[in-house]
Amino acid sequence: MSDTTIFDKIISREIPADIVYEDDQILAFKDIAPKAPVHYLIIPKQRIATLNDASQKDQALLGHMMLTASNLAAEAGIAESGYRVQMNVNKGGGQVVFHIHLHMFGGRQLAE
Ligand code: 5GP
């Protein structure tokens, strides 16, 4: 498996993305193929391939990603109506980009 993904190129600005949040640890940007009116991806700047590769040392980072998802939902005006936060893990879980990312999407009624 490659050590880098398209998300490293977004972090380094080699390819453009519509960035909605950034700090020293994480980046959030609009998904290129949105599933809902609001669909952001929240990623760590340091690559972790899958959630299976995360460990105790990543606990605060993972929490920071979750709280950023919630903050961005509030900023996008969908916190009260509702949204979904999802992380796909490995091929069977639907993961295509092997650099962990939280999907945060909403702005329409989501099916179960
Ligand atoms: P996964 O299936 O791995 O959980 O989700 C990967 C997500 O990354 C998909 O929703 C896909 O649309 C998004 N994506 C893939 N390539 C790019 C890209 O170059 N730019 C942006 N903004 N999103 C991308």
pLDDT at residue 3, rounded to an integer: 84
pLDDT at residue 94, rounded to an integer: 98
Query: How many CA within 13 A on the CB side of residue 73?
Result: 22
pLDDT at residue 86, rounded to an integer: 98
pLDDT at residue 13, rounded to an integer: 98
Tell me whether residue 99 is one of the annotated catalytic residues. no
- In a domain, residue 112? The reply is no
Does any ligand 1 atom lie closer than 6 A to the CB of residue 96? yes
Does any ligand 1 atom lie closer than 6 A to the CB of residue 33? yes
pLDDT means per 10 residues in the chain (112 residues)?
A: 88 98 98 98 98 98 98 98 98 98 98 88
Domain that holds residue 62: 6-106
- In a domain, residue 87? The reply is yes
- For the chain, how many structural domains are there in total? 1
- In a domain, residue 91? The reply is yes
- In a domain, residue 28? The reply is yes
Q: Name the residue of 31, 39, 52, 88 whose CB sits within 8 Å of the most ligand 1 atoms, as the mutation to test its pocket.
A: 31
pTM reported for the whole predicted model: 0.97
- In a domain, residue 1? The reply is no
pLDDT at residue 1, rounded to an integer: 54
Looking up residue 21, the CATH number of its domain turns out to be 3.30.428.10
Q: How wide is the angle at C-alpha 29 spanned by C-alphas 92 and 96, nearest 5°?
A: 15
Q: In sequence order, which residues have a C-beta less than 8 Å from that of residue 46 and are 6 or more positions away? A: 25
- In a domain, residue 102? The reply is yes
- In a domain, residue 31? The reply is yes
